[in-house]
Amino acid sequence: MGDSLDENFSLTDDKSSKISALARLLKRKRAAAATNTHGDGVARPKKATKKKRKSKEEADERTSSGVAPPQMGFKAFLRTLSPGDCRTPEDQQQLLERCIDGPPHTDNSEEAPGDEAAAKTKQHILAGVSFLDHSSLPPPPSSGHLPYIPLCVEAADIDLSSPQPPGGPGVMVLVLTHAAARAHDISQWISVHGLGKEGGDIGNAVRTALLCSYGGGRKKEQLDRHRDDILNPKTLVAVGVPGRVKRVLEQGVFRFRRGCSPLVLVDMQPNVKSMNLLTLPETRRDLVALLEVLTAERERAAGPLNLAFF
């Protein structure tokens, strides 16, 4: 690329020769730019400026049940899901299996445990849960789907009409979500509208325990507040994030009410960044760890654990 106009024009002063020399120089520059030689005589392909886009049909590919095909990557699989996609027991089991197989072992920097440990975890959790079939219920709307919670409670045949059900203190319904602010919104909605068979109408308001960092205070003060809420005989519902619920459970604060088959609802509603409980790696790992502990507790209580994604 050491060519210059002076070198080309020094040969002749004829006007046509100057034009020809200029044309040859421009041609060489264009060829060099196209092959990216860098002056070393080595041709290099020009870098692509645009990424290859997947077709809309490939990006939206799903099975007839609404669940992404198993060969799809886990992150792409989660991005295709929306509230209401996994409503049959088969779809919910496939979703939970993908949560156990993919995360928490493949998308973090920690040393991944062996496949044998993951298989044992999956077997242990799947043996201790019963997936709630809510496919016959109307699908929840894309926004404001909290009225769908009472319908799931009714489908699980959980009776909250009695203010103090037998079996001592403990919750009967646990709602898990991705953030403390979201947990507070769900708790407030349940406190106002209740979980009666009217589908969310006022008439069966219940006391809820908020198991998250919402409200401030030191962690010890928060745990004491959680203990008081759980041990209140009127507390039938708990709402929180998986990490805090797991910690409260390990400290002996959280408990399900004896003599009932509790219901665990996993909130799939995305936040403002289109992330939900399963697409956030940390909360997804906490969910798998929490379910492993909860199923172990239910084995000792000799009762099933109803699970539903909504």
The domains of the chain, with CATH numbers, are: 1-52 (no CATH), 62-309 (3.40.50)
Residues 29 and 21: their CA atoms lie apart, in Å, by 12
Cβ–Cβ < 8 Å for 98, 77: yes
The highest-confidence range among 82-86, 105-109, 170-174, by mean pLDDT, is 170-174
Q: What angle do CA 171, 275, 141 make, to 5 degrees?
A: 70
Tell whether the model's pLDDT for residue 157 goes beyond 90.
Answer: no
Check residue 203 and report its DSSP letter: T
Residues 138 and 89: their CA atoms lie apart, in Å, by 16
Cis peptide before 104 (omega within 30 of 0): yes
- pLDDT tens by residue, 211-248: 988 777 788 888 888 888 888 888 889 999 999 999 88
For the CA atoms of 186, 242, 68, 109, the dihedral, rounded to the nearest 10 degrees, stands at 140
- pLDDT tens by residue, 168-186: 677 889 999 999 999 999 9
Place of tokens 């654990």: 305
Place of tokens 């979500």: 177
pTM value surpassing 0.75: no
